[in-house]
Structure 1
Amino acid sequence: MRGFTWRAKQRHRPGLEVMALGPEAGPHSPAPAPDHLERWLAVRGSVPWPKAADVGASDPVIPSRDGAAEDIRAFDGALSPGRAAGMLRALDSVRADAARGAPLDFELLRGWQRHVLETPEPPPFRGSPAFAKGGRERYGITPDTRARLDDCLAESGGADGVSLTARAARACLDICFFHPFDDGNARSAFLALVFVLAREGVALESVGLLRRVSFRADDPQGPLTLARFIDSHLKET
Structure 2
Amino acid sequence: MTAIDGLSTWLRVRRDADWQRAPVLRRVQPATDGFRAWCEGPVRRRDPVRANRLLTAYTLARAAAAHRCPLDFTLLATWQREVLGAAEAPFRVNDAYAKAGRERYGLTPRTQADFAVCLREAIETELPPAARAARAYLDVAFFHPFTDGNARAAC
- Relative to the length of structure 2, the TM-score reads 0.89
Partner residue of 1:111 out of 78, 101, 108 = 78
In the alignment, the residues of structure 1 paired with residue 46 and residue 107 of structure 2 have an alpha-carbon distance, to the nearest angstrom, of 31
| Aligned twin of 2:101 | 135
Partner residue of 1:89 out of 50, 56, 76 = 56
Over aligned residues, Cα RMSD in angstroms?
Answer: 2.0
Are 1:35 and 2:5 matched, yes or no? yes
Residues 35 and 139, structure 1, Cα contact 8 Å, conserved in 2: yes
In the alignment, the residues of structure 1 paired with residue 42 and residue 16 of structure 2 have an alpha-carbon distance, to the nearest angstrom, of 34
C-alpha spacing 1:79/1:176, structure 2 compared with 1 (3 Å): farther
SS of 1:138's equivalent in the other structure is strand
| Aligned twin of 1:172 | 137
In the alignment, the residues of structure 2 paired with residue 133 and residue 52 of structure 1 have an alpha-carbon distance, to the nearest angstrom, of 30
Residues 52 and 162, structure 1, Cα contact 8 Å, conserved in 2: no
Instruction: Give the AA of the match of 1:92.
Output: T
Q: Describe how 1:55-94 pairs up with structure 2 within 5 A.
A: 61-94=28-61
**Residue 52 of structure 1: CA displacement?**
7.0
| Aligned twin of 1:21 | none
**Residue 46 of structure 1: CA displacement?**
1.2
Q: Deviations over 1:161-214 (max 9, x none)?
A: 221111111110110000001111001000xxxxxxxxxxxxxxxxxxxxxxxx
| Aligned twin of 2:149 | 184
| Aligned twin of 1:162 | 127
**Residue 156 of structure 1: CA displacement?**
1.1
**Residue 79 of structure 1: CA displacement?**
3.5
- Relative to the length of structure 1, the TM-score reads 0.60
SS of 1:183's equivalent in the other structure is coil
| Aligned twin of 2:115 | 149
| Aligned twin of 1:4 | none
In the alignment, the residues of structure 2 paired with residue 154 and residue 89 of structure 1 have an alpha-carbon distance, to the nearest angstrom, of 24
In the alignment, the residues of structure 2 paired with residue 140 and residue 79 of structure 1 have an alpha-carbon distance, to the nearest angstrom, of 33
Q: How many residues are matched? A: 154
Sequence identity, in percent? 46
In the alignment, the residues of structure 2 paired with residue 102 and residue 60 of structure 1 have an alpha-carbon distance, to the nearest angstrom, of 21
Q: Deviations over 1:10-67 (max 9, x none)?
A: xxxxxxxxxxxxxxxxxxxx7x6432211110011111222575xxx6x764333322
In the alignment, the residues of structure 2 paired with residue 67 and residue 33 of structure 1 have an alpha-carbon distance, to the nearest angstrom, of 35
Residues 77 and 90, structure 2, Cα contact 8 Å, conserved in 1: yes
In the alignment, the residues of structure 1 paired with residue 32 and residue 50 of structure 2 have an alpha-carbon distance, to the nearest angstrom, of 21
Instruction: Give the AA of the match of 2:138.
Output: L
Instruction: Give structure 2 stretches of 5+ with no counterpart.
Output: none
Instruction: Give structure 1 stretches of 5+ with no counterpart.
Output: 1-29, 191-237
Structure with greater helix percent: 2
